[in-house]
Amino acid sequence: MNVFGGEDDANLVPATPIHAAIPWIPYVRWPRAFSFWALTVGSMVNDLEVVPLWVLSGDIYHSRGLMHSVLGVLTLNATVAVFATLYLVPPAMRWFDRRWREPRVFRFAGRDLHEDPRDIGTVYASAALGGLTHILVDIPTHAYNPVWWPWQTVPLNLVPYADELWWDIVAGIPVLLLFAWMMYAYWRR
């Protein structure tokens, strides 16, 4: 039984934090060219719309809209991610620093994340890249992808079995393994 209602087959989707693994790849290679926090927040902010749309529509399968489109990523998502990166992440880091005295907590790929770039161009570009990679991770695991909204009349569905449990597992495992490896290989180093 599907815990979300609807069809009988269960549906797994990539957990929101796992989406961050993809934009971390260029960060590892070119850390000065990107904002780690904007890449990370930008890759997850797309899913802010899922719960409200699910509640309004009653359909978890079609709970992606503007924030899962290229237009949404470049406008609304990037704005939310830039705001969060510049105004919410720094106080959260200070709060953690006061409570967690381990200096390596905010290190990734050999970089101190306290020194993350804060210029608006880098933060915006990183947030937008993070959001675009979220869409790329979602395409093979969802049958409903409004990537080119509002110009797209039929949602993009590249994989005919995208909302089937077996495919969600097959498509999700590489991203999960990449996330686990990135955490193991680069966090606190």
pTM of the complete model: 0.84
Range of 52's domain?
A: 17-186
pLDDT of residue 13: 56
Tell whether the torsion through CA atoms of 136, 138, 141 and 142 is positive or negative: negative
Closest by Cα among 15, 132, 12 to 68: 132
Look at residue 3 and tell me if it is in a domain: no
Look at residue 156 and tell me if it is in a domain: yes
Look at residue 43 and tell me if it is in a domain: yes
**Distance in angstroms (rounded) separating the CA atoms of residues 125 and 70:** 13
Look at residue 175 and tell me if it is in a domain: yes
pLDDT of residue 95: 94
Look at residue 102 and tell me if it is in a domain: yes
* Weakly modelled stretches of the chain, pLDDT under 50: 1-10
Q: Quick: pLDDT tens for 34-65.
A: 999 999 999 999 988 888 888 888 877 677 88
**Per-residue CA distances from 18 to 13, 14, 21, 52, 112 (Å):** 10, 7, 6, 21, 21
pLDDT of residue 12: 53
pLDDT of residue 31: 93
Contact (CB, 8 A) for 24 and 34:
no
> Looking at residue 112, what DSSP letter applies?
E
Q: How many Cβ atoms from other residues are within 10 Å of residue 51's Cβ? A: 11
> Looking at residue 106, what DSSP letter applies?
G
> How many domains is the chain built from?
1
pLDDT of residue 3: 39
The mean pLDDT value of the chain amounts to 86
Look at residue 58 and tell me if it is in a domain: yes
Look at residue 165 and tell me if it is in a domain: yes
